């Protein structure tokens, strides 16, 4: 049976432990990652290394697993080797790594993680009430360019006989199977489940601080806004994203979509806006809430039987959630301020890109002027017209990649 503990118990991992947080998605992972990234120096001073320079370790995790993120993309080759080199070079600190895509591992990949990280590794799985999680899962997919209507998506993931199109979205939140898989790979003593719930809002940060031997309250000192905390969206905000996806998905590459909408327009809505009186809160239809509850009961039984350590109340995972016979699940109109924030987010990004381009052009002109004073040819003398524009774009791209 699993071991239920609370923060009064000794959760601290051994010195030089390697904590691998595999999510799951929409369980506070974004808040944790943003806090850790913002407090890298403070964590290191406290004996915890959060390796790398990015907010999270998505690229490295996907590279190790051979997965990609976004349509038409491939894993970032070498991302895991680079991160692993930093991890292996530190023989003093506890290490904190991970990304919620780690939960997508199959049995073989979970075993490879165990072999790769060694005997000092410990896996943390964060979980939320399954029924309450469903709207959040769908909203996250809208941020990734998908276009399924919420009702259609619910019918797919809550039906055991789903098609291949939606099977992965069901499997990646099969809480019972995921915990059992990682308990098999790392041993029950090598896995901790943290149950996240609105009734215990501080538990998530407190649990990670306790496991990593950090001072209580340290992670809460990181400033988080609606974007970095990845707040939930209203029905109307989600439908705005879905409507844009219908137009953009087939016209842009994944990287273009991220640049010109996901990381600009949709993030601006989360960061700059708070849902108001014209927004509708997500409520599950009654049939979906019942089906989700049945599935959650099975998940809790599997987790309890796995023997892993549990922080929090497993029973919260199967609490019933509010539901209705015919709740609002889509919207024909959206609040004008939501559309305005999305548009402004894209415009602000465009202005930043323009400013960077002007700076590159200024530096190139200065380079040409210095070379001319010396009577020497410059590297841009060979270009003209379209070739010069392409060269400027290439230099700008290299410059941006260094930041």
CA distance 195 to 201: 11
Domains of the chain, each with CATH number or no CATH: 3-229+285-321 (3.40.50.300), 355-401 (no CATH)
The Cα–Cα gap between 65 and 76 comes to 11
Structure confidence at residue 393 (pLDDT): 56
Cβ neighbours of residue 262 closer than 8 Å, sequence gap 6 or more: 143, 144, 145
**In which element (H, E) is residue 255 found?**
helix 254-257
Among residues 291, 294, 65, 303, the alpha carbon closest in space to that of 181 is found at 303
pLDDT at 227: 56
Residue-level pLDDT at 165: 76
Residue 307's Cβ-count burial label (10 Å; 0-12, 13-18, 19+) is middle
Taken in order 369, 374, 375, 381, the sign of the CA dihedral is negative
How many angstroms separate the CA atoms of 187 and 180, rounded?
10
Each of the 403 residues of the chain gets a pLDDT tens digit; together they read: 666 766 767 899 999 999 999 999 999 999 999 999 999 999 999 999 999 999 999 999 999 999 999 999 999 999 999 999 999 999 999 999 999 999 999 999 999 999 999 999 999 999 999 999 999 999 999 999 999 999 999 999 998 766 777 888 888 899 999 999 999 999 999 999 999 998 888 999 999 999 999 999 999 999 876 556 678 899 999 999 999 999 888 899 999 888 889 888 888 988 889 898 889 999 999 999 999 999 999 999 999 999 999 999 999 999 999 999 999 989 998 888 898 898 888 888 878 877 877 777 787 777 777 777 777 665 555 544 444 455 555 555 555 444 4
Q: Are 342 and 266 in contact (CB under 8 A)?
A: yes
Residue 402: per-residue pLDDT: 47
Angle subtended at Cα 165 by Cα 160 and Cα 166, rounded to the nearest 5 degrees: 45
Contact partners, residue 200, CB within 8 Å, separation at least 6: 312
Measured CA distances, 301 to 119, 207, 304, 307 (Å): 28, 23, 5, 11
For residue 249, the model assigns a pLDDT of 87
Whole-angstrom distance, CA of residue 171 vs CA of residue 277: 35
């Amino acid at each position: 049976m699993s071991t239920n503990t609370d923060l009064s118990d000794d959760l601290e991992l051994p010195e030089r432990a390697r904590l691998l947080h595999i999510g799951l998605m929409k369980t506070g992972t974004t808040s944790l990652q943003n806090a850790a990234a913002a407090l890298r120096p403070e964590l290191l001073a406290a004996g915890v290394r959060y390796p790398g320079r990015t907010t999270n370790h998505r690229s490295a995790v996907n590279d190790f697993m051979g997965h990609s993120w976004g349509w038409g993309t491939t894993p970032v080759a070498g991302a895991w080797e680079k991160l692993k080199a930093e991890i292996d070079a530190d023989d003093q600190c506890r290490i904190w790594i991970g990304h919620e895509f780690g939960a997508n591992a199959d049995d073989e990949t979970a075993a490879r993680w165990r072999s790769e990280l060694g005997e000092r590794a410990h896996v943390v799985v964060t979980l939320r009430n399954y029924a309450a999680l469903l709207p959040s899962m769908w909203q996250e997919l809208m941020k990734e360019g998908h276009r399924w209507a919420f009702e259609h998506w619910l019918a797919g993931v809550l039906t055991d006989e789903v098609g291949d199109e939606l099977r992965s979205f069901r499997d990646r939140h099969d809480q019972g199977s995921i915990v059992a898989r990682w308990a098999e790979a790392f041993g029950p003593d090598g896995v901790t489940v943290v149950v996240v719930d609105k009734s215990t809002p501080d538990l998530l940060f407190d649990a990670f601080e306790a496991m990593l031997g950090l001072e209580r309250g340290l992670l809460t000192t990181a400033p988080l806004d609606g974007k970095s905390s990845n707040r939930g969206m209203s029905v109307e905000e989600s439908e705005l994203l879905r409507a844009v996806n219908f137009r953009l998905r087939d016209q842009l590459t994944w990287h273009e979509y991220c640049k010109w909408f996901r990381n600009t327009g949709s993030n601006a809505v989360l960061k700059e806006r708070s849902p108001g009186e014209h927004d509708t809160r997500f409520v599950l239809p009654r049939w979906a809430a019942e089906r989700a509850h049945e599935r959650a009961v099975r998940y809790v039984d599997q987790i309890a039987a796995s023997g892993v350590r549990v922080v929090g109340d497993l029973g919260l995972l199967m609490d019933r959630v509010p539901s209705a016979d015919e709740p609002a699940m889509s919207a024909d109109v959206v609040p004008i301020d939501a559309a305005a924030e999305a548009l402004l987010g894209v415009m602000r990004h465009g202005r930043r890109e323009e400013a960077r381009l002007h700076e590159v052009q200024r530096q190139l002109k200065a380079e040409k002027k210095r070379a001319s004073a010396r009577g020497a040819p410059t590297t841009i003398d060979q270009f003209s017209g379209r070739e010069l524009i392409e060269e400027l774009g290439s230099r700008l791209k290299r410059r941006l990649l260094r930041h």
